[in-house]
A and B are shown apart, each in its own frame.
Chain A
Amino acid sequence: MSIDTAPAATALDATSGAATRRDILHRLLMTIVPILAALVIAGCILLAVGVDPLAYYGYVLEKGLFSPLGIQQTLTRMAPLLFLAAGLIVAFRAGMWNLGGDGQFLLGAVTAAASAPALVEILPAWLALFCSFLIAMLVAMIWSLVPALLRAYQGVNEIITTLMMTFLGTSLANVLVKLVFRDPGTTVPQTRTLPVEDRLPRLFETTITSGLLLGLAAIIIVHLVMTRTAFGLKLRIVGANPRAAVHAGLGVPGLTIAVFAISAGLAGLAGAVDIIGVQGNVRADWNPAYGLAVIPAVFLARMNGFAAIGFVFLLSVLSIGGESAARRLGVPNHFTLVLVSIVLIVLALAEYVDHRYHQSRKA
């Protein structure tokens, strides 16, 4: 994997504008054509089980993209996914496989759900929400400390440790909901519910959460830090070649811990933004497992923040649209998983074919 996709055109000649435009057009084509192909393949599966694919996709587009309510839901769904993607971009660019996003997400969500209703009673609403965000972020950061330290000072592979921490975190989140933060007023185990008026404000007259703006800000800031600052360059060097980074005099252990802290902190914020903005509480055994879908999306975006926004939007359209299409047509919602999977595989294949084509043209 290259550290960064070099700008396609240097800004020296007058044709650069056209070249950039051609590059963007090419990228768009390379995304849209594979998605269409994936829809055709998934459509064959639908046909095989006796569902009209056109009707299905019609509902997906209508409910996920074109209906006012649907697009609002889609944009709302994007908020936590954007935070998760931002966290993964930092980790992956620095060459660290933080696969523990779901555990960090859930712990962030549970601590935010526990702290927000308590804090709004004693603090002004905006300060209470700010503090809950902060707590969720800190908890997730602390949670990532064990894999970070093990990787930084013992060289223990972080794939194992973060995977284990995510299993641990999922269980711990459940224990916290059932035993510690349980709302005594309900029979089903869940945390206290944050009143709707105290949640993150909605945007204008819509149902879109303002968490969307926070998520967009997070991922753009992460993108700029990784591509435009000395700190980002250091992280990318660690990712490209840790040994070279040591020789260049970088404090690799310290940077490793920083990467884990930022990545996990953003995952914790993802949990908080989902709870404080949308859900209001955490039910026991709630685990949306967003992380698993976001990881491949970030890879396909080549860890580019702006491209990741596009892929997150696509994921949200598919999941929101898929949910309602499934309800209308009597297909289980599981079909969305199949659809997402095929889209991911075909996109990866398309990238390979494109790469091969360019190589053969150069040669």
Chain B
Amino acid sequence: MTGLFSEVFLSALLFGAVTAAIPLLLAGLGEQMSEKAGVLNIGIEGMMLAGAYLGFVGAFYSGSLWLGFLTGAAGGMAVALIMALLCVRIGLNQIVIGIALTLGLEGLTALLHHFQFSRSYPRLPAADATVIPLLSDIPVIGPAFFKHHLIVYLAVALVFAMGYLYRRTQLGLNLQAAGDKPAALDVAGIDVIRTRTIAVLSTGALAGLGGAYLANVGAGLFIPFITNGAGFLGIVLAMLARGRPVWVLFGALLFGVCLSLTTAMQVAGINIPTDVIQMLPFLAVMIMLVLFGRRASLPAALGIPYERGAR
């Protein structure tokens, strides 16, 4: 109990929070993009798992974390390609396909891992951190926020890049229109199917990257079902953020702190079931919804496949 509020403990807690938040952030940003374009992407959990597995395999055999991130993103994108073909191009039910992809990838990654590594769980060496000079010297905050792998800073930068994309670029507007009034976008001469496909593929890449980070940096190994609902958390974050990337970041950090707190409590030997702490972020968000819940501003055409000329 004595060490609970020491400087070291606190900065370790926050460091863990950031590490836990990054996969959620990437998944949330990805899901947000799909939802903006009108595709409810329930398969994101499967995309994360594909990313985690292929990301781990890539990093494990090449010895390069960056190559791992690349293969992870490619893995997520490959799953997203199936989703784009089935749900965007030929308009199958997004919930059926999404859940089917999640189930399938849960099974497939566990199966491949079994045949490849049997019951052993090889570890990757710890990821080397990029230390930001000066800022990392601040007590508590420095070691917590400024001694991470380079990809963490890139992920945070991506939040602002996404904000710019949605507000200032043609593609951002197209995405928004594809979700709100796809027919109008079509009339304006822009291919709705193509716009939505871009969104779904980007989602896959981001989710895959998130999964790869989770396995390679967060855990340092791959175990079956490693994402453990992170993709569904991403869906929750994206819906709560109402189209704003910055809110995804805040939400991811909130959940990250709670996830980190569960491990910290165990380390500190405090005798509360971890389930209690795992409930905290959801309780907080539910209370916020009850107090401030207003009509959610979801895209009008969310979940509805676009068919040209259909009424």
User: In the complex, which residue of chain B has the Cβ closest to the Cβ of A322?
Assistant: B107
Interface residue ranges of A230-244 to B (CB < 8 Å): none
**A340 CA to B96 CA, complexed, in Å:** 12
Report A182 CB to chain B, min CB distance, Å. 11
Residues of chain A contacted by B232 (CB below 8 angstroms): 163, 167
Q: Whole-angstrom distance between the alpha carbons of A101 and B278 in the complex?
A: 19
Point out the residues of chain A lying under 8 angstroms from B279, CB to CB.
167-168, 171-172, 175
Q: Mark B85-121, 1 if CB is under 8 A from A, else 0.
A: 0100011110111011111111110110011000000
Most chain A beta-carbon contacts within 10 A, residue among B92, B96, B285 = B96
Is the pair B239, A178 in contact by a Cβ cutoff of 8 Å? no
The 0/1 profile, CB within 8 Å of B marked 1, for residues 158-189 of chain A is 01110111011001101100110000000000
Q: What mask results when residues 17 to 49 of chain B are scored 1 for a CB within 8 Å of chain A, else 0?
A: 000000000000000000000001000000000
Q: Is A157 interfacial (CB-CB < 8 Å)?
A: yes
Bound-complex Cα distance A167 to B279 (A): 8
Which residues of B are found within 8 Å of A157, using beta-carbon distances? 239, 296, 298
Q: Do A296 and B95 touch across chains, with their CB atoms under 8 A apart?
A: yes
Interface presence of A131 (CB below 8 A) = no
> Which size bracket describes the interface of B in this complex?
35 or more
B248 at the interface (CB under 8 A from A): no
- Contact status A161-B100, CB under 8 Å: no
Residue B290 at the chain A interface, CB threshold 8 Å: yes
Contacts of A331 in B (CB 8 A): 111
Q: Judge whether B96 and A299 touch: CB under 8 Å.
A: yes
Nearest A residue to B107 via CB reads: A337
Contact of B103 among A50, A167, A292 (CB under 8 A): A292
User: Is A299 within 8 A of B95, CB to CB?
Assistant: yes
- With the chains together, A334 CA to B282 CA distance in Å? 29
Of the residues A97, A155, A292, A332, contact of B110 by C-beta under 8 Å: A332
Cβ contact within 8 Å between A160 and B236: yes
Q: Flag whether A349 is at the interface (Cβ < 8 A).
A: yes
Instruction: Report the nearest B residue to A330, measured CB to CB.
Output: B114
CA distance A113 to B245 in the complex (A): 43
Cβ contact within 8 Å between B115 and A155: no
Kindly identify which residue among B90, B91, B111, B289 contacts A338, using a CB–CB cutoff of 8 Å: B111
Question: Complex: how many Å from CA A348 to CA B94?
Answer: 10
Whether B92 contacts A348 by the Cβ 8 Å rule is yes
Chain B 219-232 per-residue mask, 1 if CB under 8 angstroms from chain A, else 0: 00000100001001
Inter-chain contact A338/B239, CB cutoff 8 Å: no
A329 lies within 8 A of chain B by Cβ: no
- Complex contact A154–B293 (CB within 8 A): yes
For A332, list chain B residues within 8 Å (CB). 110-111, 114
CB distance from A217 to the nearest CB of B (A): 27
Interface residues of B in 99-146 (CB under 8 A from A): 99-108, 110-111, 114-115
**Other-chain residue from A172, A300, A336, A349 in contact with B107 (beta carbon distance below 8 A):** A336
Bound Cα distance A163, B285 (Å): 12
B286 beta carbon closer than 8 Å to chain A: yes
Which residue of A is nearest B106, CB measured?
A337
Are B278 and A171 closer than 8 Å at their CB atoms? yes
Q: Is B253 an interface residue (CB 8 A)?
A: no
Give bound CA distance, A331 to B278, whole Å.
Answer: 33
Q: Mark B266-307, 1 if CB is under 8 A from A, else 0.
A: 000000010110110011011001100111101000000000
Q: Top 7 nearest A-B pairs by Cβ distance?
A: A337-B107, A341-B104, A334-B110, A338-B107, A155-B295, A344-B100, A171-B275
A positions within 8 Å CB-CB of B: 1, 45, 49-50, 97, 146, 150, 154-157, 159-161, 163-165, 167-168, 171-172, 174-175, 178-179, 292-293, 295-296, 299-300, 331-332, 334-342, 344-345, 348-349, 352
Known: A160-B296, A345-B100. 6 other contacts (CB 8 A): A160-B236, A165-B286, A168-B279, A342-B104, A345-B101, A352-B91
